[in-house]
A and B are shown apart, each in its own frame.
Chain A
């Protein structure tokens, strides 16, 4: 596992350290600059692409086996649970799209925040798989632009995770 990512904002450095999510009672207030929403919206394109290409490390990462030594049981699990997982992911992505496609101030419920969090995490997993990040040490060997993009997603994810954790 990786430790928390350092902030790597895109756009105005003055906005750099301001939290993008904060809690207000039962709600989560979102403060994402438009250019960051534009970057984060690309996660959806990445994930849509993964669904189309089976021979893809990102696809394999998102469909990891549940039974390591029983191919039949694994196939059965994915047959029974796979569709439900796909539907759940589709729902999460719809919530995520709604957030990234608006420039208005947005307030999320915890359930919506959870959906956004899962998409962010799924996007990081898919992106890292395509970068062939297999052990923690690979992170520091990534090309600068790829590492910055992965860390940016990680920073946003970390910010939202902390806010969601406050409600537990």
Chain B
């Protein structure tokens, strides 16, 4: 009799491996120029890309500015917070 095939449940592993994304939220105080500057400085975006993301934050209320492993994105959150932007972590 053939042994039953047991398929390992890899759901949890896959969950841990899923990359994270950094979301920046709109707020009524930070100025547009300042947000563009922070995006350019922290992520190396050119002016057009940084402006596009800033406008997405402004109009849509949020924008994903980065993704990757948890350690990297948590550090990016830290740098955004140190510049006064509200950044959160989300699973992709």
- Say yes or no for A124: interface residue by CB 8 A criterion: yes
- Say yes or no for A53: interface residue by CB 8 A criterion: no
Residue of B nearest to A68 (CB): B88
Cross-chain contact A121 with B34 (CB below 8 angstroms): yes
Cross-chain contact B74 with A77 (CB below 8 angstroms): yes
Measured between beta carbons, the chain B residues less than 8 angstroms from A1 are 26-32, 35, 54, 57-58
Residue of A nearest to B32 (CB): A1
Please, what's the 1-or-0 string for B34-68, where 1 marks a CB less than 8 Å from any CB in chain A? 11110011000000000000100110000000000
* A1-B54, A1-B57, A1-B58 known; A66+B31 contact, CB < 8 A: no
Contact among A125, A139, A162 with B30 in the assembled complex (CB-CB below 8 Å): A125
On chain B, which size bracket covers the interface? 20 to 34
CB within 8 Å: A-B pair count? 94
Cross-chain contact A138 with B31 (CB below 8 angstroms): no
B-side interface mostly: helix
Contact among A118, A136, A164 with B28 in the assembled complex (CB-CB below 8 Å): A136
Q: How far, in whole Å, are A152 and B77 apart by their CA atoms in the complex?
A: 28
Residue of B nearest to A138 (CB): B28
Please, what's the 1-or-0 string for A89-124, where 1 marks a CB less than 8 Å from any CB in chain B? 100000000000000000000000010011001101
Q: How far, in whole Å, are A117 and B37 apart by their CA atoms in the complex?
A: 11
Give the interface centre of B26, B87, B88 by most chain A CB atoms within 10 Å.
B88
Cross-chain contact B84 with A125 (CB below 8 angstroms): yes
Q: How far, in whole Å, are A3 and B34 apart by their CA atoms in the complex?
A: 10
Measured between beta carbons, the chain A residues less than 8 angstroms from B30 are 1-2, 121, 125
Query: Would you give the shortest CB distance from A65 to chain B, in whole angstroms?
Result: 7
Cross-chain contact A122 with B31 (CB below 8 angstroms): no
Measured between beta carbons, the chain A residues less than 8 angstroms from B34 are 117, 121, 157-158, 161
Cross-chain contact B82 with A88 (CB below 8 angstroms): yes
* A128-B29, A168-B40 known; A118+B57 contact, CB < 8 A: no
Measured between beta carbons, the chain B residues less than 8 angstroms from A4 are 31-33
Please, what's the 1-or-0 string for A72-86, where 1 marks a CB less than 8 Å from any CB in chain B? 010001000100110
Name B residues whose Cβ lies closer than 8 Å to a Cβ of A: 26-37, 40-41, 54, 57-58, 74, 77-78, 81-84, 86-90
Q: Can you list 9 pairs linking A and B with CB atoms under 8 Å apart?
A: A1-B27, A64-B86, A85-B78, A121-B30, A129-B29, A158-B31, A162-B33, A165-B37, A165-B40
